[in-house]
Amino acid sequence: MSKYKTFIIIETPRGSREKYDYDSRYGMLCLKKLLPEGMVFPFDFGFIPGTKGEDGDPLDAFVLSSLKTFPGCMIECRLLGAIKAVQIEKDGEKIRNDRYLFTPVVTGYEWNTGCTGELPEKLLRELEDFFINYNREEGKDFRPQGFINAKEATKQIKKNEG
């Protein structure tokens, strides 16, 4: 079981077509875009505060749970692992843009595992497919590179803190 716990800020709740982004200039969430009809976020999507990825944004986080949350909600979570990925931007630039997988501390029974290798393979493939299609809508190419366990994901997060 992963020992790494942190707070995740939810930008876009599970089941939403509306994609929200945190705007640091105003300290608020703003509506960024609508997903195509029939496409919704399968889980809560947000970020790890105090981190910065290669794309200049805080590291992305998916919170795997059935909780009902809202944009701006802060949840203490335990790290499960990550989908390792390379993202090719519209201008052709390649950046590392992993998606970190968490479960809430208050309902950790749902995915009580220490690494993504223990998560259902079907779930992991569906998450990859979601990000491939989501990025395609923005003219970006999301390329999954496999899964990293909670121990390796913790190292990656710590490297991007500050």
Residue whose structure tokens are 């496999």: 146
- Give the whole-angstrom CA distance, residue 80 versus residue 12: 20
74-123 residue pLDDT tens: 999 999 999 999 999 888 899 999 999 999 998 755 555 545 557 888 99
Q: Report strand pairing: 60-63 vs 99-104.
A: parallel
Q: Does residue 41 surpass a pLDDT of 90?
A: yes
Domain extent, residue 9, equals: 5-159
Q: In a 3-state reduction of DSSP, which class is residue 25? A: coil
Instruction: Select the more confidently predicted residue: 133 or 111.
Output: 133
- Greatest Cα pair distance, the chain, in angstroms, is 42
Q: In a 3-state reduction of DSSP, which class is residue 117? A: helix
Q: How many domains does the chain have?
A: 1
52-68 residue pLDDT tens: 999 899 999 999 998 89
Q: Does residue 129 surpass a pLDDT of 80?
A: yes
CATH classification of the domain holding 47: 3.90.80.10
- Give the whole-angstrom CA distance, residue 129 versus residue 14: 16
Q: Left, alpha or beta for 56 (phi > 0: left; psi -120 to 50: alpha)?
A: left
